[in-house]
Homo-oligomer: A and B are copies of this chain.
Amino acid sequence: MTTERRRSNDMALRQRAKSVIPNGMYGHQNAAILPKNFPQFFSKGEGSHLWDVDGNEYIDYICAYGPIVLGYQHPAVDRAVAEVQDAGDCLNGPSEKMVELAELLVDITPWANWAWFAKNGTDATVYAASVARTATGKGTLLRAHGAYHGAAPTWITAGDMSQQADGTVEYEFNDLASVRTALDEANGDAAAIIVSAFRHDVGFDQEMPTVEFAQGVRDLCDANSIPLILDDVRGGFRLDLAGSWAPLGVDPDLSIYCKAIGNGQPISAVMGRESLAEAVAATFATGSYWFTGAPMAAAYTTITTLQETDGIARMERTGNALREGWQQAADAHGVGIRQTGPVSIPLMLFDGDDFSTRDVPRAYRFSAELADRGVYLHPVHNGFLSTALTDEDVAHTLEASDEAFAAVAAEFND
């Protein structure tokens, strides 16, 4: 079932890139950490499929690492973007799209009174931390050990991501006692608790929060009069349109969106309660492109399309079909796997691989076999589903996966 994969354009571009970009590439889309047959450079996306620069086609399960939630080249989103761009996208002030988007977000988020927009998730998490510091007059941020909240000095030491930033104290996700200890450690200087909507740390199985943990963190924030910041960059608009903790019945004070919010157009958001509006007004931040209209129009259309098409339920159905199909195939081949986290943000890890040391030969073999069969599934980063995935896509993927599990079993099983 494998087709011949062309690689010459990708190889040529990698070579040219090495001359003008340090190491040839950087950041989370760096193909250097992927199996050798994964391309670095892409040329096209349409619906649930994308194409690399050599014309190889893939059913896509990472969706540009999250942003693509309705599929590539979604007609309604692209029309909304083109309409703004045909009039003027980057002007001396925002367009009415900014107000329309803020109204929509406040409307679908029962606990929140306002929205605030930037470009990157990191802009938004850093800003939320600054707002919390302004509001409380305190300095220390409580964050989970190993959690990723963005690539900025507020959260990480850029040269060594295992080192966390000054001004932060760590707790363990889903461990309320550790949050209490962290509060003690902050010694009266706690400014906020930031928590990911679910645990998606590099190197570990994903983990959903327990209601007890979520409610406990909420209660600790109330008892200490500090804001609870929900980092919903990863989960937002894939789990629940009212925010990923809405199903738990626990509301934050500030919440952060990026990725799926605009189907690939560059926009992030902070939402918050009225009680923090004054701190926002007193906390300066800005960016050259933060007020452009096209991403705001894209976000408005992305969210209303998800509403109108029941997109969250659709992704959940697709995710369940994949999860069940993968489990059956793995069992049939005697390959031990663990599937964790939300079904629409799937992570499959292999028993016997050691993700914490990046010694993951089974995951690499599996995803390399899939890539050769026109399926793009990242070996160690969680996947992202889109509403564009079809039953045919899932059927092809499971067929390819059966052969990939067979290859893993042949190489690694006794």
Binding site for B on A (CB under 8 A): 9, 13, 16-17, 19-23, 25-29, 31, 39-46, 50-53, 60, 62, 64-68, 72-73, 78, 81-82, 85-96, 98-99, 102-103, 105-106, 113-116, 119-123, 126-127, 130, 133-134, 151-154, 156, 158-159, 161, 233, 258-259, 264-266, 268, 272, 277-278, 280-292, 376
Residues in B with CB closer than 8 Å to A99 are 13, 16-17, 20-21, 41
A259 touches B281 (CB 8 A): no
B93 touches A45 (CB 8 A): no
A26 touches B93 (CB 8 A): no
B22 touches A114 (CB 8 A): yes
* A93: contacting residue among B31, B114, B258, CB under 8 A: B31
Residues in B with CB closer than 8 Å to A45 are 87-88, 90-91
Beyond contacts A119-B119, A122-B123, A151-B284: 10 other A-B pairs, Cβ-Cβ < 8 A, are: A20-B99, A20-B115, A23-B277, A42-B88, A43-B96, A45-B87, A127-B158, A259-B288, A266-B292, A268-B288
Residues in B with CB closer than 8 Å to A19 are 103, 106
Residues in B with CB closer than 8 Å to A158 are 127, 130, 133-134, 283-285
B116 touches A65 (CB 8 A): no
The verdict on A277 contacting B156 (CB below 8 Å), with A28-B286, A102-B17, A288-B259 known, is: no
Residues in B with CB closer than 8 Å to A98 are 17, 21, 41
Cα A50 to Cα B92 in complex, Å, equals 8
7 residue pairs A–B, Cβ–Cβ below 8 Å: A21-B99, A23-B280, A51-B88, A67-B289, A82-B85, A119-B120, A120-B287
A93 touches B39 (CB 8 A): yes
Residues in B with CB closer than 8 Å to A65 are 92, 288
* A46: contacting residue among B88, B161, B233, B264, CB under 8 A: B88
B102 touches A26 (CB 8 A): no
Cα A82 to Cα B92 in complex, Å, equals 22
A103 touches B266 (CB 8 A): no
Q: Closest 3 A-B residue pairs measured CB to CB? A: A27-B286, A90-B264, A45-B88
Cα A159 to Cα B280 in complex, Å, equals 9
Residues in B with CB closer than 8 Å to A22 are 114, 116, 272, 277-278, 280-281
Cα A73 to Cα B156 in complex, Å, equals 39
B282 touches A26 (CB 8 A): no
Cα A20 to Cα B119 in complex, Å, equals 19
